[in-house]
Amino acid sequence: MLYVGMKARFKTQCSECGGTIKVGQEITKSGEKWVHKKCAEDTGKGEVLP
């Protein structure tokens, strides 16, 4: 699966792993929250490209 992703513009917290999302890291949405792209791939959650 390919997940919709972008680079983080702000420091925040990943709602999946609880780790810090740093500026410039690849992120994607899981529901209404932002997560590391890797976390979305590992859990199967996140916005998927059609």
Q: Is the pLDDT at 48 greater than 80, yes or no?
A: no
- Considering the entire predicted model, what is its pTM? 0.79
Q: For residue range 5-45, what is the model confidence (pLDDT) as tens digits?
A: 899 999 999 999 999 999 999 999 888 889 998 998 888 77
Q: Which of 48, 49, 17 lies closest to 35, judged by CA? A: 17
Residues 6+ apart with CB under 8 A from 16: 30, 35, 36, 39, 40, 43, 45
